Amino acid sequence: MVVADIDGNRAKQVADEVAASGAPVSAVSLDVRASAGCRAGVDHAVQVYGGLDVLICSAGIGQAATPAWEQPEEDWLRVIDVNLNGVWRTTAAAVPELRRSDRGRIVLVSSVAGKEGNPHLAAYSASKAGVIGLTKSLGKELGRDGVLVNAVTPAVIDTPMVRSEGSDPAVLETLLSKIPMGRLGTTEEVAELVAWLASPSCSFTTGGVFDLSGGRSTY
């Protein structure tokens, strides 16, 4: 298994949860800006474990809150490159190995922002919407290959990214106000859903998008 992530706290929690189920886990922080880096991470997992059954991509970066038309182009491109292109690069490297498995699974971490769009966070929202589209396309393309592809769409999760660069306090408060449960989600809650989607128990679900939003998004 490969867990690809830049937000290390969430990646560790996901890896720990999956490992608790008895599956061997290779937690790899990939250079998702380069296809070669993604390929190297996949190759490492295959060499260590003799194959690849599950790919979990949760790499992601945030952005400074700004109107879409005022965002510097280099910032826009950086967010899209990590959050969407990096997921595609990693997935493209892993699919040939996953098709050789008898229970291939791909779990991509998107965001509720990709479904609803967050004001002043257009690049982030667009990148996560792209991950949802990629999930649905891959689910259809790999449906007869035994590789199930699903996404999770968390609302605001209590991670270092949110605390450090997750925008100014006013933006965070606005996002929190949209959650009927009135709190941030936890990395443990994300990890438990990801672990199920990566497991053999998930057997007839592909191209699905699963919310972790505290009631914010219910469709």
Mean pLDDT of the 28-36 span: 74
Cα angle for residues 145, 146, 148 (degrees, 5° grid): 110
Mean pLDDT of the 90-117 span: 93
Check pLDDT > 70 for residue 27.
Answer: no
Cα angle for residues 184, 200, 156 (degrees, 5° grid): 10
pLDDT of residue 166: 46
Please state, in angstroms and rounded to a whole number, the distance separating the CA atoms of residues 159 and 77. Answer: 23
Mean pLDDT of the 73-85 span: 95
Mean pLDDT of the 125-142 span: 98
Mean pLDDT of the 97-118 span: 93
Average pLDDT taken over every residue of the chain: 86
**For residues 206 and 175, which has the higher predicted lDDT (pLDDT)?**
206
pLDDT band at 13 (very low <50, low <70, confident <90, very high): low
pLDDT of residue 80: 96
Which is the catalytic residue, given 91, 95, 124, 159?
124
Sheet with 54-57, side-by-side order of all strands? 26-28, 2-4, 54-57, 105-109, 148-154, 208-212
Per DSSP, the residues of 22-45 read T---EEE---TTSHHHHHHHHHHH
What is the domain class of 2-212 according to CATH? alpha beta
The DSSP letter of residue 101 is: S
Mean pLDDT of the 138-144 span: 97
Mean pLDDT of the 59-74 span: 92
Q: Where are the domains of the chain?
A: 2-212
Q: Convert the pLDDT of each residue in 150-195 to its tens digit.
A: 999 998 888 766 666 445 677 778 878 889 998 988 888 988 999 9
pTM, 2 dp: 0.87
Q: Are 148 and 139 in contact (CB under 8 A)?
A: yes
pLDDT band at 6 (very low <50, low <70, confident <90, very high): very low
In this prediction, what percent of the chain has a pLDDT beyond 90?
50
Please state, in angstroms and rounded to a whole number, the distance separating the CA atoms of residues 158 and 186. Answer: 6
Mean pLDDT of the 58-79 span: 92
Asked about 124 being catalytic, the answer comes back as yes
Please state, in angstroms and rounded to a whole number, the distance separating the CA atoms of residues 192 and 209. Answer: 15
Give the highest mean pLDDT range of 19-28, 33-42, 155-164: 33-42
pLDDT band at 207 (very low <50, low <70, confident <90, very high): very high
